[in-house]
Chains A and B, each alone.
Chain A
């Protein structure tokens, strides 16, 4: 373990997750566009990763033996930027430049911009393949770093996800852990109406993955799942995390429209108040 001096307690993680949610709202309010719903739904998972699970070093972002995090659902970029800033990768002030001309914080993630962004993403369905490649390289080099990939539940409608799912199992990538942010909504509506991909867990099991199902807002369950995943040998793990889209902001929770709509000034104020 390098980077964090001590792992955060669950109480501290909860506080950190709220700070990250505040960052997300403030950034999106300032930017005037972007994706709050899926950033908020995955906030607890990503907080757990960056403040408890990932072996990373903000002073040396490209350290060879670091764990890798791939944000395959790239539209949750504000979440990634906030986690990186909170973790010391770049100054928090810069968060307010999201989506603006000349900013390192592009609308969707761009590799190395800012440091800590492991791969460009935003076009859905591509990140799991990248994570596989990172995991294969780790095995080839005999390194013990782990690779994490956050997928959206709408995203898994992309065919490439299932190509990558086969590959990860075929190559027995037990150093890979995917997390599915299962919030049940996508841009055009509920997943079951847009494109019913159920049964999801059975699909991943059939693709020869180790599967777990957790409450994606319960830190005890999140941390336990990541620990258990480390012990599984010979196959990749996917943690299916049941989440609430827009989690933490009353008027955004389970509201489809907040997939890709930024809060107004008044909504920003109200949301920040709720998250204080």
Chain B
């Protein structure tokens, strides 16, 4: 059985490690530190942890101020409040000033489950990737989360990292390297390419395996954890070699990973494409498994999309 770890847990542990290595790392949270897991850092380095209360806009501005003085602020809250509530602070104060603020948002997507739509952010990839200077990363598992957080801290400039609430299986090996802006081919194939991010990478892998066993369709699977800047070369190569693309994300189809991939394909190598994503509706309460079925985000949905797109 694969080990299951929530990406937010990996974040909490990595932050503590980072705090030990780099004294300029400071952490801000808006009254959700036990959920975002910044609590571990707060316990270990209380003088470098700023509890901001329930005020996300102020948190982003404060993080910006700290960054102008050479600090490396990590600002955390739920994705909906980070990317939604504080969007304009992120745009005008952090990104326009190109400040070294790392926004690590947890509880993204419908896998939040029972809390319902108000807390299930399905728009953040779109909201964050439209801001100039911003880097957007959606890690697929705990291993990649750790590396993404360390790498984000080491680079200059604003970064948004999207994490989930639910436990997800470990997919990647600890010894694999991580580079911002680079996707990874996890399974090679020549009949179609599934490009996925976050929690959907595991489902893409399962879909590819089933397709291979079932009908001899050989799918390439790409984990594209950096949504911006996106790995254009890898996407163009996949389009050229496999002639069919399916994207998979736990996000609205409008503006998310699928849109980002489509932007690359349309301009460079137009091929048939399908997007597995949430179609213009809000989430709702329920068990993540039920919700993924209801919203068309299962491996069977990916399989169906691949079959359609290969036929075209």
A-side residues, CB < 8 A to B, are: 64, 68, 110-111, 118-123, 126-138, 140-141, 159-160, 163-164, 166-167, 170-171
Given contacts A160-B58, A163-B58, A167-B58, contact A126 B65 (CB under 8 A): no
In the complex, besides A120-B96, A166-B55, 19 extra interface pairs with C-beta distance below 8 angstroms are A111-B96, A111-B98, A119-B64, A121-B93, A123-B93, A129-B58, A129-B62, A129-B65, A130-B93, A132-B62, A133-B65, A135-B65, A136-B50, A137-B71, A140-B71, A160-B55, A163-B57, A166-B58, A170-B53
A137 near B93 with CB under 8 A, answer no
Cβ of A120 and Cβ of B66 under 8 Å apart?
no
Mask: chain B, 79-94; 1 = CB below 8 Å from A; 0 = not: 0000000001100110
Interface residues of B in 43-65 (CB under 8 A from A): 47-48, 50, 52-53, 55, 57-65
Nearest Cβ in chain A — how far from B163, in angstroms? 23
For the complex formed, measure the closest distance between the CB of A179 and the CB atoms of chain B, giving whole angstroms.
17
User: Can you report 5 A-B residue pairs in the complex whose CB atoms are below 8 A from each other?
Assistant: A119-B65, A120-B96, A132-B62, A140-B26, A170-B53
| B53: A residues at CB distance < 8 A | 163, 166-167, 170
* Chain A residues whose CB sits within 8 angstroms of the CB of B63 once the complex forms: 133
Q: Within the complex, which residue of B47, B52, B68, B70 is in contact with A130, where a contact is CB–CB below 8 Å?
A: B68
Interface string of B119-130 (1 = CB under 8 A from A): 000000000000
Q: B68, A138: Cβ atoms under 8 Å? A: no
In the bound complex, do residue A120 and residue B92 qualify as a contact, i.e. CB atoms below 8 Å apart? yes
Chain B interface main SS type: helix
Contacts of A120 in B (CB 8 A): 92-93, 96-97
B297 interface residue (CB < 8 Å to A): no
For residue A79, give the distance in angstroms from its CB to the closest CB of chain B. Answer: 20
How many residues does chain B have at the interface if contact means C-beta atoms less than 8 Å apart? 31
How far is A130 from B63 in the complex, measured between Cα atoms in Å? 7
Q: Is the interface of A mostly helix, strand, loop or mixed?
A: helix
Q: What chain A residues lie within 8 Å of B48 (beta carbons)?
A: 140
Q: How far is the CB of A238 from chain B (nearest CB, A)?
A: 16
* Min CB–CB distance A122 → chain B (angstroms): 7
Closest to B93 in A: A126
Bound: A121/B267 CA distance, A: 36
Tell me whether A136 and B61 are in contact (CB under 8 A). no
The minimal Cβ–Cβ distance linking A144 to chain B, given in whole angstroms, is 14
Closest Cβ–Cβ distance, residue B103 to chain A (whole Å): 14
Partner of A123, one of B70, B88, B98: B88
User: Which residues of chain B have C-beta atoms less than 8 A from A134's C-beta?
Assistant: 65-66, 68-69
Q: Determine the distance from Cα of A68 to Cα of B66 in the docked complex, in whole angstroms.
A: 12
- B98 CB to closest chain A CB (Å) equals 8
Give chain A residues whose Cβ lies under 8 Å from the Cβ of B60.
129
A121 to B64, CA, bound (A): 12
CB < 8 Å: which of B47, B92, B98, B99 contacts A140? Answer: B47
